[in-house]
Structure formats: C-alpha cells, structure tokens
Amino acid sequence: MKIAINNTFVTDNTSECESGCYFLQTKSNAKYKAPNNVHLINVHECKKLLNINENIKLIGITGTNGKTTTAAAIYETLLALGYKAGVCGTRGAFVNHKKIDAKSLTTSQILKTLEYLKIASEQECEYFIMEVSSHAIAQDRIEGLNFDLKIFTNLSQDHLDYHKSMQEYANVKNSFLSDDSAKIINIDDKYVKFNHTNAITYALKNNAIIKANEISLNSGIQATLEVLGESVKFNSSLQGEFNLYNLMAAFGAVKILTNQNAQQISNALAKFNGVEGRMQVVSQNPLVIVDFAHTPDGMEKVLNALRHLNLVVVFGAGGDRDKTKRPLMGQIAQKYARVCVVTSDNPRSEEPMSIIDEILSGMDKTNTIANPDRKEAIKIGLNKLKPNEALVILGKGDEDYQEINGIKYPFSDEKVVLELLN
C-alpha cells in the first residue's frame, strides 16, 4: 500500500517503489530487498514523516474472543464522555464516529495501522484502540507501536492450523503481556501469564481488582461493579456472562485512561448497544439471533447465555482452518440445541461436505440436519422453529460474503433471514 506525502509517497511493498519514494522496512518485509534509489525508513521515522501524534494513547486488546466488543465498548464510551478516539479491528477502522476503512485483517500490516494513526492525529484523537491478533504478534505486525494500555480477554482453542498447539498459541498471546506497560488482565483464564508490573486484574470467579457482585443476567446485564476502589451499579442491554467480562474490561480501561468517576463511566457505557453480528437480534418474531462465534468456546458462551430458550442452531466451520475444533463445535451445538442444522461457513478451498462430516463426527444424529447450502440451511432452521423458540445462526456474524474456492460471493446471514421472512 502507499500513503501520499509531499510530492512522493511511502510504501511497504517493493513492487510499488519508484525513484525517490520512501520504503518502510520492517521485520515482516525484511526478506524483500528495496531498490537503491529509494529512502529506507523504519517505523519510528515513518511516524515522524506522517506527522503522527505520539501523544495519542494506544490501547491494544488481545484474546481469542471478546476483542471486537471490548474495543467497540471502549471507543463508544470514550466518545460518549466527550473524548476524541479511533478504533480498528475486525469491523474495519473508525475515527470520531466515522468509518475510515472497510473490514480486512483483525490487525493490519503496520503501514496500514500508521495510516489510521495519521488520520487519528489529523482528527485530534486522544485515544486509539486496536484489536491485536495472535498472527499479528507472531508476524511482527505491531512493530514499533508503543501501547499505553494492553488488555487480555481470554484464550480458547482457535488458529491451531497456524500455531500448532494450545501452548504455542498461549505463548504468543502471553508474549504481548510480558513488558512493563499498563495491563488489564482476565485472571479467570487458565492460560494467561503476564508481567505483574502495572497490571490490573478482572474476574468473576477469582479475587481481582475489578469485580462484579449482585449479578443478574435474565434480561440484559445488571451488576454492581467494583473498579479501583469505587463501587457503582451498572446496567447493559447486552446479553450473557461473556459480555459482562467484556464490559468489565472496557469499564476498567476507560477508568484508567480518563480517571472519570465511576458513575459517569457507568452512564456512558450503558449506552453501548453492542456490535453488529455479535448477539445481534435480526428478527423479534420469530426471534432470530446472528453471532460471529466460530470456536468451541465462543459457541459455548453464546449458547449458554441463551440456555433459557429452546434453540434451533445453524452453524458450520471455516475451511483451511483448524480441523480439530470441528467435532467439538458439533458437540457444543448439540448440547444446547433442540435441532442442529450443520451447513457451510466459508469453505474456502475445502469440499463443504467433508467439513460438515468432520463436524458431524462429534455429534449423534438425533435432531441433526446437514445441508451445505447456507441459505437453504437457514430456511430449514426457520421452518423447524416452534412457537417461542429462537433460531441462532453462528459463524459469520456481520460478514457480507461467503468465500468459496478463492472467490468471495455476496452473502449476509441477516439479509437472508429478512428475505426469507418477507
């Protein structure tokens, strides 16, 4: 990619180089040799060239699940409190209520992130929040970024096609938490290891600095939060214990960043209504919920939060990804659902039915239907609903495509549901 600057540009791609341009040399592109007629610069020099304000407080969030909701909750709460802020991650990039880039990688290559920080600087942002993936940590895509606050949400099985083992996956995530920077850590997680210097903990099961009491999850979330010596009653329209964790992390982050009083933060955070594609109600009658959950733990959290309802669940598993999680996903769906409809997610280069068969290997065939056509599967799910039951469609959330053999075809779970209901 290129960023225009004065009469030339900066790039991180050798094939884009022209005489006199700037080439950002990083660990992740070090194997490519730039031509001699360009100016080689590092990340620090690139920040100066782009006039990035180094006083913007940078917040990095890592974990298997909860990054997107936690990032959005911090961003929206800071804006509600009157601060200027930006955020980037799975949903794209936003600055001061405006979308500045579409969805792409959870964590972009460093030059793309610097472009976001350039815009944030021009818009006088005080804060910028980033989702930080394990791939980005392993591939040095956050090189040269100085985080003022790091947040760890949780760790569960995902990306083992890349990391090979849970231990390696945990080691990569934990490496992000090994320095002296300020940190907010979910200590209910069994995998987390972190540098305790400047660390603040949160938990529901273990003793922590940020904790919740008098919890009710029957309709939304009600709790009394204890945050850094202050106690405050808190309400949210979000559903489920997993979202209480996300909101506790967000609450702690805003408190540390702004030092506003707890009641002001509680009032601002209560306005946050969640993220598209995360426990998103796309129809009330019948009740249809769409969620991005695509790991065993993610599915467990979503379905457990809805366990008071009779459920029909439509789901699949992504192709060219960790195969060992597929039967586990099948087991979890069957544990909570009256009917399971197993279908395609993003099959990518794999044969859809072979993915489905691997999911089915973890299930008995009771009340289980397989159909690789996702639209047909959603139709079956709607037809199987009895009065007062809910259809839960998992795996793709607010994605607007389905990837098959290298081609992204337009596909939205929400749009398909509304089309079928109408």
Query: Is residue 275 situated within a structural domain?
Result: no
Indicate the SS3 state at residue 319: coil
Q: Taking Cα atoms as reference points, which of 248, 160, 236 lies closest to residue 203?
A: 248
Q: Specify whether 199 is located in the same domain as 309.
A: no
For 265-355, strand residue ranges (E) read: 280-283, 287-291, 311-315, 339-342
Domain that holds residue 391: 280-421
Query: Is residue 62 situated within a structural domain?
Result: yes
Domain with 135 in it: what CATH number? 3.40.1190.10
Q: Specify whether 62 is located in the same domain as 34.
A: no
Q: Specify whether 40 is located in the same domain as 140.
A: no
CB 205 within 8 A of CB 186: no
The binding site for meso-2,6-diaminopimelate consists of 321, 345-348, 395, 399
Query: Is residue 348 situated within a structural domain?
Result: yes
Query: Is residue 343 situated within a structural domain?
Result: yes
Last residue of a domain, one of 269, 290, 313: 269
What's the CA gap between 41 and 30, in Å, rounded? 12
CB 187 within 8 A of CB 202: yes
- The pLDDT of residue 160 is 59
What's the CA gap between 253 and 200, in Å, rounded? 10
Query: Is residue 410 situated within a structural domain?
Result: yes
What's the CA gap between 332 and 320, in Å, rounded? 21
Q: Which residues contact 18 (CB under 8 A, 6 or more apart)?
A: 8, 38
Strand partners, 59: 129, 149
The binding site for ATP consists of 63-69
Give the DSSP H or E segment for 293: none
Q: Specify whether 226 is located in the same domain as 102.
A: yes
pLDDT values of the chain reduced to their tens digit, one per residue, 422 residues: 999 998 999 999 999 999 999 999 999 898 898 899 999 999 999 999 999 999 999 999 999 899 999 999 999 999 999 999 999 999 999 999 999 998 878 889 999 999 999 999 999 999 999 999 988 998 999 999 999 999 999 998 665 566 568 888 899 999 999 999 999 999 999 999 999 999 999 999 999 999 999 999 887 899 999 999 999 999 999 988 999 999 999 999 999 999 999 999 999 999 999 999 999 989 989 999 999 999 998 999 899 989 889 999 999 999 999 999 999 999 999 999 999 999 999 999 999 999 999 999 999 989 999 999 999 999 999 999 999 999 999 999 999 999 999 999 999 999 999 999 99
Query: Is residue 206 situated within a structural domain?
Result: yes
- The pLDDT of residue 52 is 98
Q: What is the CA radius of gyration of the chain?
A: 22
Number of structural domains the chain divides into: 3
Q: Which two tokens stand for residue 5?
A: 């600057």
Indicate the SS3 state at residue 143: coil
Query: Is residue 274 situated within a structural domain?
Result: no
Residue 3 φ/ψ region, left for φ over 0, alpha for ψ in the -120 to 50 degree band, beta for the rest: beta
At residue 313, φ and ψ (nearest 5 deg) are -120, 125
Last residue of a domain, one of 243, 269, 295: 269
Q: Specify whether 99 is located in the same domain as 45.
A: no
Q: Specify whether 136 is located in the same domain as 83.
A: yes
Q: Specify whether 44 is located in the same domain as 152.
A: no
Q: Specify whether 395 is located in the same domain as 329.
A: yes
Q: Specify whether 126 is located in the same domain as 67.
A: yes
CB 99 within 8 A of CB 129: no
Q: Taking Cα atoms as reference points, which of 263, 168, 245 lies closest to residue 208?
A: 245
Q: Specify whether 251 is located in the same domain as 290.
A: no
Q: Specify whether 253 is located in the same domain as 364.
A: no
Last residue of a domain, one of 49, 66, 85: 49
Q: Specify whether 237 is located in the same domain as 290.
A: no
What's the CA gap between 184 and 31, in Å, rounded? 35
Domain with 298 in it: what CATH number? 3.90.190.20
Measured CA distances, 44 to 111, 175, 248, 390 (Å):
11, 22, 33, 51
- The pLDDT of residue 163 is 52
- The pLDDT of residue 159 is 58
The binding site consists of 14, 63-69, 106-107, 133, 139, 141, 321, 345-348, 395, 399
